[in-house]
């Protein structure tokens, strides 16, 4: 009798072969179906509730994918590409997931018929490469030195990015603001130099852009009312020092014999505090910001000397102030020279909604700005923030690399036509595969139509015909249920968004197609054959 060979632990699940690839593809399809309906200006939003009951409303592919908490190992790839698209270019996160899903869907019949994955992978790579080349060829590059034209380009791109979001009614207002914000940054366009704050109340149009640093008035003690609220050219001290009389901690023990000795302890503390305060006053600083609390005594001291102070400033705000106004964050006041103090042209404290804001403008060092979002519901403002983030990323990208293509499915249709033309010149299996990829690209215009309630077959037929006649930028016209030249209609997107989305989708497709075996170890402590939770679908 042959001895049985035991290789893996009991309870290990292994599945392999063609059926494994197919089941991975099916899992990805399920994920794609979750985000499908959010694409485009007429896309729907998703309301997601986390375990703690926190509700999020979003239209952003990456946000939805992050919150989905996917357990399927292959389907997680799609979550990853959405995240990477978000980090890399900021927009196009739904498109990337949709594209990857459609590539896989189109490749599924080939796998079922027994075409080897490697051949498919090679064709997918080739098609992607051809598509990216073609985008670079046909992308339109406006003249960069023309300020007005560049600005227009950036505004159009921002408006397209926001056109599909909750705030699309106000996109003209916001696209100007976003472009202004990005224009304020310096050459490197660091994203963290744009602060975004949310103040409930008011209308969306009350959102304002501050050319400088602004943050909410922090916790303050009695006495702050007496402080002046405006300075020009103040020196600013940024501290990481507590300016407060220390409360007696319950774990500290001081044994005293008499009242006089206690008085000495108290006096010593006052001396230490007054010493610090005096040094700050003598340094000429007009505004004192500290990460740690600034107490009653100190607040009064500063108020008496016509100085402004704010304690418990959040670290990121303090850092941004430091980067903008110069100076350093100090942990001692021993050596307060001008070189460690920051400065700015104007400081004021202003009431915005129910909050008071400390606003520093005219900062000499870094170029920075703050957007203060107003609006009704918390979730609404959060989604506004995410949408602004998308738009800001797009504007940054477009400013660095100013080639644009037309959106609304126009570029996808043109790529599709290009690939179909090329595939006809290729013999063999590759022909079928590349034309399948060409078909897959049509998913974007089709979904845009479906989400808007249009007859997608009809519109796609029109688009195919127009593109065959050489109308390169024909895409879906969302307003009139028709096709239109989206380059003229100013639905512009940076070509980089499309290139990145295509490459990421194709990478994910290749990755999933190249996995033909999954081995899952049983969790330690679980029974020998983990069949999953009762009622739950098994992960494979
Ligand atoms: P993503 O997360 O991929 O950016 P969106 O929901 O933002 O998804 O949808 C983007 C798609 O909507 C792009 O294909 C873009 O071309 C298209 N789109 C945006 N604005 C318009 C418009 N005004 N008309 C037609 N299509 C548009
Ligand atoms: Mg978008």
Which two three-digit tokens encode residue 9? 């632990």
Tell me which residues of the chain have a pLDDT lower than 50. 527-540
Q: Which of 475, 318, 506 is nearest to 410 (CA)?
A: 475
Return the pLDDT at 219: 63
Looking only at the bridges linking them, the beta strands covering 194-200 and 369-375 are parallel
pLDDT at 460: 93
Q: Atom 4 in ligand 1: which residue has the minimum CA distance?
A: 92
Secondary structure, 3-state, 469-505: CCCCCEEEECCCCEEEECCCCCCEEEHHHHHHHHHHH
304 an active-site residue? no
User: Does residue 61's CB lie within 6 angstroms of at least one atom of ligand 1?
Assistant: yes
| Closest ligand, as measured to the CA of 476 | 1
The sign one gets for the Cα dihedral 389, 391, 394, 396 is negative
- The pLDDT, as a whole number, for residue 529 is 47
- Told to judge if 275 belongs to the known catalytic residues of this protein, a careful annotator would answer no
The whole-number pLDDT of residue 469 equals 92
Q: What DSSP designation does 333 have?
A: S
CB 375 less than 6 A from any atom of ligand 1:
no
Ligand whose nearest atom lies closest to the CA of 501? 1
From the CB of residue 252, how many other CB atoms can be counted at a distance below 10 Å? 8
pLDDT value for 532: 44
Secondary structure, 3-state, 410-443: HHHHHHHHHHHHHHCCCCCHHHHHHHHHHHHHCH
pLDDT at residue 534, rounded to an integer: 45
Q: What is the DSSP string of 144-198?
A: SS-HHHHHHHHHHHHHHHHHTSTTGGGHHHHHHHHHHHHHHS-TT--GGGEEEEE
141 burial via Cβ count (<10 Å: 0-12, 13-18, 19+): exposed
CB of 412 shorter than 6 A to ligand 1? no
C-alpha 297 – ligand 1 centre gap (Å)? 56
Assess whether the C-beta atom of 445 lies below 6 angstroms from ligand 1.
Answer: no
List the residue whose alpha carbon is closest to atom 17 of ligand 1. 408
* Gap from CA of 231 to ligand 2 centroid (Å): 42
390 is catalytic: yes
Q: What is the pLDDT of residues 331-378, one digit of tens each?
A: 888 888 888 888 888 888 888 877 788 888 887 776 788 888 888 888
Ligand 1 nearest atom to the CA of residue 61, by list position:
2
DSSP state of 540: -
Q: Is 407 in the pocket of ligand 1 (CB under 6 A)?
A: yes
Taking alpha carbons only, the member of 318, 246, 320, 315 closest to residue 288 is 318
Instruction: Give the integer Cα–Cα distance in Å for 28 and 104.
Output: 8
Q: Is the C-beta atom of 163 inside 6 A of ligand 1?
A: yes
**pLDDT at position 97, please?**
93
Say how far apart CA 49 and CA 405 lie, in whole Å.
Answer: 36
Find the helix or strand (DSSP H, E) in which 21 lies. Answer: helix 18-35
> Cα torsion at 434, 40, 176, 201 (round to 10°)?
-150
Q: Which are the contacts of 497, defined by CB distance < 8 A and separation ≥ 6?
A: 89, 91, 92, 394, 397
For residue 332, the model assigns a pLDDT of: 83
């Amino acid at each position: 009798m042959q001895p049985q060979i035991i290789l893996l632990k009991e309870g290990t699940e292994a599945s392999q072969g063609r059926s494994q690839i197919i089941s991975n593809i099916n899992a990805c399809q399920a994920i794609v179906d979750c985000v499908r309906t959010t694409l485009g200006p007429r896309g729907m939003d998703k309301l997601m509730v986390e375990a703690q009951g926190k509700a999020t409303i979003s239209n952003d592919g990456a946000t939805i994918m992050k919150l989905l908490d996917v357990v399927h190992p292959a389907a997680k790839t799609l979550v990853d590409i959405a995240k990477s698209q978000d980090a890399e270019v900021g927009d196009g996160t739904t498109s990337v997931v949709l594209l990857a899903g459609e590539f896989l869907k189109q490749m599924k019949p080939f796998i079922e018929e027994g075409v080897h994955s490697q051949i498919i992978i090679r064709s997918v790579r080739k098609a992607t490469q051809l598509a990216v080349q073609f985008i670079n060829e046909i992308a339109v590059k406006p003249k960069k030195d023309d300020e007005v034209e560049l600005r227009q380009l950036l505004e159009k791109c921002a408006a397209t990015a926001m056109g599909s979001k909750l705030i699309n009614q106000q996109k003209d207002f916001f696209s100007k603001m976003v472009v202004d914000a990005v224009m304020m940054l310096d050459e490197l366009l660091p994203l963290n130099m744009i602060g975004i704050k949310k103040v409930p109340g008011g209308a969306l149009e009350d959102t304002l852009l501050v050319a400088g640093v602004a943050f909410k008035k922090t916790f303050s003690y009695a006495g702050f009312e007496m402080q002046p609220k405006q300075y020009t050219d103040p020196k600013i001290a940024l501290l990481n020092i507590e300016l407060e009389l220390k409360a007696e901690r319950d774990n500290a023990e001081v044994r005293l014999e008499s009242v006089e000795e206690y008085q000495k302890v108290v006096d010593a503390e006052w001396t230490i505090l007054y010493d610090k305060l005096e040094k700050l006053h003598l340094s000429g600083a007009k505004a004192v910001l500290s990460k740690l609390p600034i107490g009653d005594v100190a607040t009064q001291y500063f108020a008496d000397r016509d100085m402004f102070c704010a304690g418990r400033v959040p670290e990121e705000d303090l850092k941004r102030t430091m980067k903008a106004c110069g100076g350093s964050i100090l942990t001692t006041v021993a050596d307060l020279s001008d070189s460690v103090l920051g400065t700015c042209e104007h400081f004021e404290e202003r009431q915005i909604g129910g909050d008071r804001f400390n606003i520093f403008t005219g900062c000499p060092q870094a170029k920075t700005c703050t957007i203060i979002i107003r609006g009704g519901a918390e979730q609404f403002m959060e989604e506004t923030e995410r949408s602004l983030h998308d738009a800001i990323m797009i504007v940054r990208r477009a400013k660095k690399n100013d080639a644009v293509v037309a959106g609304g499915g126009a570029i996808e249709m043109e790529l599709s036509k290009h690939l179909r033309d090329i595939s006809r010149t290729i013999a063999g299996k590759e022909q079928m595969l590349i034309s399948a990829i060409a078909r897959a690209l049509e998913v974007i215009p089709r979904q845009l139509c479906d989400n808007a309630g249009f007859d997608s077959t009809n519109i796609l037929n029109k688009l195919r015909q127009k593109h065959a006649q050489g109308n390169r930028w024909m895409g879906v016209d969302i307003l009139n249920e028709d096709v239109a030249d989206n380059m003229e209609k100013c639905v512009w997107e940076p070509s980089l968004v499309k290139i990145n989305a295509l490459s990421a989708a194709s990478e994910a497709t290749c990755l999933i197609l190249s996995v033909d075996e999954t081995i899952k170890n049983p969790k330690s402590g679980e029974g020998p054959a983990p069949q999953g939770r009762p009622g739950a679908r098994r992960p494979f």
